[in-house]
Amino acid sequence: MRIKRVLSLGLLALPMMMAAVMCSGQIKELSQAAKDGEVIFTIGKEDGSDREFQNYLWTGIEEYIFRVGVETDNKFPAELHIRGVYKNYGVVRLKITFSAQRSYDKAILRLVRGGDETSVVTVDGQQPYQVTSSMLGSGEGFRAGSYELDIGGLQEGEHTLMFTVLEDEKGNGAYQWDALELFGIAGK
């Protein structure tokens, strides 16, 4: 009887321990600039997991286009990989298209993800940004971290964000998403 009770308590604590392990990175609080900004889009939830994303059915897909306002989170790939590393997942490039309903003087892209790899982010085909795991505070085993990237101003209209994994031989060649958010800040 006592063994059953101990096992039951252990099983009840397991989900809490798993959440603590999954969330053991450095997810920083939202900056004041982002809090004061207007949400342009949010993909996923900052909850230390990729549960809302799709972990399968990505075989042979080199580039996936996610259209904000059309696709839903469960049609978003949970992971990105370096080409040829994980053939059964296959997503090498992620392109997010979205529309800004007005112009913004500044836009902040908040990346929340796990992995030791470096994210390469390109906005509208311009000069790419690199976001390293040390900037994020992330690590392998889905230790999620967060980073706010100032991507400059955005004009009203259609825009594209492109994400890839830098081949810098860090980690296992893949990283997992927890959430992506874009905030626009208009001039005063």
**Domain with 160 in it:** 2-185
Number of domains in the chain: 1
**Two tokens, residue 13:** 């604590």
**Two tokens, residue 111:** 């990346």
pLDDT on residue 52: 85
Write the single-letter amino acid at 52.
E
79: CATH: 2.60.120.260
On the question of pLDDT at 148 being above 50, the answer is yes
> What is the per-residue pLDDT across 22-80, written as a single tens digit (0 to 9) for each?
344 567 888 888 888 999 999 999 888 888 887 777 777 889 999 999 988 888 888 88
Rounded to whole angstroms, the maximal C-alpha distance in the chain is: 67
In the block, tokens 């949010």 appear at 42
To the question of pTM greater than 0.85 for the whole model, the response is: no
Residue 95 parent element (H or E) = strand 93-100
